[in-house]
Amino acid sequence: MARARTGARAADIVVFAEHADWHVRRLLAALKRHGRAGRVLSLKACGFAVGETAHGLLLPGFGDLLPAACFVRAVPAGSFEQVTARLGVLHALGALGVPVMNDARAIERCVDKSAATFLLARAGLSTPRTWVLEDRAAAQMLVDAAPGDTVLKPLFGAQGRGLARLAPGAPLPEPDTVDALYYLQDFVAAPAHEDFRVFVVGGRAEGAMVRRGTGWITNIHQGAVGSAVAPEGALAALAVKAAAAVGADHAGVDIIADREGRLFVLEVNSMPAWKGLYEATGRDMAEPLAARLAEPRPLRSEGSPSCASSSASS
């Protein structure tokens, strides 16, 4: 049999995930409704096969072919070397012209909260004043001099885990308890314990909810309750711009309103869950995601400009 040419495509769309959870099952079903077949692969099983396959990648079940597109539900944790190699596979797929949603650059930017915050501010979007530094004494001085409370966050973190709210004068934890890095952000005082999650797909706000908690941490996984809000107006426009700022084709954007009603972007999630959003709104984000993946025109791939337009995570 003749060897497939580099870049030859299979019809299947890969969903990178560790198991077929609720989100993966919903996405596979939505892809089927759009006439496309999805195949679940773990990035742990993938790698490089330079000189062996036509494209130089090891993608179980594909041989010399490349998938039509890829959706990244999860990048599994591992050693620094393992995670680097897994992201390298995503970078390589993008370099080969395979649409990857989201691509490795967007994932890297969002996982690193300091990079995401920098890009949001550089794009001119309102985000809380932020400091990221290693020196505990210098960080303590910033906390003590802050105009109000300061939020200490892990650089890599999700679902509201590891957050601490510090009043001026409150001692920072020792470096070895925070991986020797202090990510500090001004606490935004909202009129209630609430913020917003807006789900963006392909430059459009597809769903939104307000999350209300019993305390200042408002993540659904921390006990907050979501209620539907319209994904439109200033809220939607800001979310779309935030996703574009980090180069994300889809994103869960966390936004908070202060007591004067001003909106601030807190975070952009490049691998957002949407079960909480579905329960709050009845809108399944698997549908717009599948529609986007099944589009005949290519998604944004690495090295190309952002797909997000100026129109207007669980």
Q: Is the model's pLDDT at 185 over the cut of 90?
A: yes
Q: Is the model's pLDDT at 152 over the cut of 70?
A: yes
Q: What's the CA gap between 54 and 291, in Å, rounded?
A: 29
Peptide bond into 102 cis (omega under 30): yes
Q: Is 304 in contact with 244 (CB distance < 8 Å)?
A: no
- DSSP notation for 96-132: TT--EES-HHHHHHHHSHHHHHHHHHHTT-----EEE
Q: What is the pLDDT of residue 296?
A: 64
Q: Is 139 in contact with 114 (CB distance < 8 Å)?
A: no
Mean pLDDT of the chain: 90
For residue 209, list its beta bridge partners.
197, 228
Q: What is the pLDDT of residue 295?
A: 84
Q: Is 282 in contact with 26 (CB distance < 8 Å)?
A: no
Distance of CA 8 to the CA centre of its chain: 29
Distance of CA 288 to the CA centre of its chain: 16
Residues 6+ apart with CB under 8 A from 261: none
Q: Is the model's pLDDT at 234 over the cut of 80?
A: yes
Q: Is 41 in contact with 16 (CB distance < 8 Å)?
A: yes
Q: Is the model's pLDDT at 301 over the cut of 70?
A: no
pLDDT digits (tens, 9 = 90+) for 169-182: 999 999 999 999 99
Q: What is the pLDDT of residue 216?
A: 67
Percent of the chain with pLDDT over 90: 79
pLDDT digits (tens, 9 = 90+) for 244-269: 999 999 999 999 999 999 999 999 99
Q: Is the model's pLDDT at 308 over the cut of 80?
A: no
Range scoring the smallest mean pLDDT among 25-34, 110-119, 220-229: 220-229
- DSSP conformational letter for 188: -
Scan for tokens 């939104």, then name that residue: 208
User: pLDDT band at 192, cuts 50/70/90?
Assistant: confident
Closest-CA residue to 244 (of 287, 304, 165): 304
Domains by residue range for the chain, with CATH: 13-108 (3.40.50.20), 111-125+190-294 (3.30.470.20), 130-186 (3.30.1490)
Q: What's the CA gap between 127 and 253, in Å, rounded?
A: 12
Q: What is the pTM of this model?
A: 0.89
Query: Most confidently modeled of 86-90, 298-302, 308-312?
Result: 86-90
* Average pLDDT rounded to a whole number, residues 79-98: 96
* Average pLDDT rounded to a whole number, residues 83-87: 97
